[in-house]
Amino acid sequence: MPAIFNALPGIEVPVSGIARGLADMWLDAAARGSAAPGADDVTATQVNFVLHLGSRCTPDDALRQFETTVRFSRRYPSRVVVLCPRFSEVDAPDMRAKVYGECFLGKSKSDKRCVEFVLLSYPMAARPYLESQVSTCLSADLPLYYWAHGFSTSSRLADYRYLLSRARRVLIDSSVSPDDALTYPWPNPNSLRDLVYSRLLPVRQTVGQFLARYEMPRLTEGLKAVRVAHGPELAAEGRVLLAWLRRRLSDCGPTGGCLDWKLEAGEARHLAIELSYANSDKFFRWHGDLAAKHATLEADFGHGKTELAAGASLLSPEAALSEAMFF
């Protein structure tokens, strides 16, 4: 994990001098003519955000998640703490810190926003002291959001009870999380959000809005099977999409105890949904090509065939973060 800490941008400072390091960083930026908060500027911070990089994270992966957090913070200015645990017994026992910041314009030239990042690298021996260090880096009057990425086991992550309990939202990505991450008994399970589900928002909106045009009994009467097909790299999206359909169709009324739910392999970068019925003339099909950002919808619920073209995409990583955090 030192490789991860070293791969991320920032200026290394003493752990005891983080606040001073941030102040010096902005003074140096101003001296070089770069954007920096003025003497009377107030950082328009909206949330506390902790990005926790687990043992499955590689330096390249960590940098991608860091850049996603930076893009998110440009829209929702955040006080960000990035945790980089070190798992090797031969690592130095000290905790290390970096500071990073940038300023950017908001909706107008007078709307200047500056965000600050604190990166903490710590050996597991220093784990009992982490909460106090993190708390000094966060703003006490702002809500906390916690993104745990690349962790190896749910039980190991559960040791971070301070963050799990205090966070308004705990974010995970079930495509790269342990199998039990969504069912593990977290301290506050209602706060848990899956980024896979959030990424699927455009698909859920398109399919949901189309099906909402029909009366509920028409959607469930004679329903025999629900099929979701996915490309190899979209297995998590296929699984989550099928679970969403199960919940939504169950809300519409009885679907029968013999209903067949199918998750199947499909074409690369493609997702597909098919509802089939006892009456072979009745059907619903949605097929999305995420590479081409194009989808087709076909249906016949007894009023004649309907066919429509639509867009097909997943939310960007930073948009998925905001969807999971705030909605």
Range of the domain at 299: 201-311
Q: How far apart are the first and last CA of the chain?
A: 33
State which of 195, 229, 256 marks the end of a domain.
195
Same domain (yes/no): 299, 174: no
Q: Are 94 and 5 in contact (CB under 8 A)?
A: no
- Give how far the C-alpha of residue 152 lies from the chain's centroid of Cα atoms, to the nearest Å: 17
- Report the distance separating Cα 135 and Cα 164, nearest Å: 13
Same domain (yes/no): 123, 149: yes
Q: Is residue 234 part of a domain?
A: yes
- Give how far the C-alpha of residue 134 lies from the chain's centroid of Cα atoms, to the nearest Å: 21
**pTM, 2 dp:** 0.93
Same domain (yes/no): 189, 214: no
Same domain (yes/no): 155, 75: yes
Same domain (yes/no): 64, 160: yes
Q: Is residue 147 part of a domain?
A: yes
CA angle 68, 70, 73 (to 5 degrees): 110
We report the CATH number of the domain holding residue 265 as 3.40.30
Same domain (yes/no): 14, 86: yes
Q: Is residue 325 part of a domain?
A: no
Q: Are 245 and 284 in contact (CB under 8 A)?
A: no
Of 18, 26, 216, 259, give the one whose Cα is nearest residue 121. 18
Element (H, E) at 66: helix 59-75
Q: What is the pLDDT along the chain (327 residues), one digit of tens a residue?
A: 579 999 999 999 999 999 999 999 988 877 776 666 654 444 568 899 999 999 999 999 999 999 999 999 988 989 999 999 998 766 567 899 999 998 887 677 667 778 899 999 999 889 989 999 999 999 889 999 999 999 999 999 999 999 999 999 999 999 999 999 999 999 999 999 999 999 999 999 999 999 999 988 889 889 999 999 999 999 999 999 999 999 988 866 665 556 899 999 999 999 999 999 999 999 999 999 999 999 999 999 988 999 999 999 999 999 999 999 999
Residues in the chain: 327
In the chain, the number of structural domains is: 2
**Pairing of the two strands 306-311 and 294-300:** antiparallel
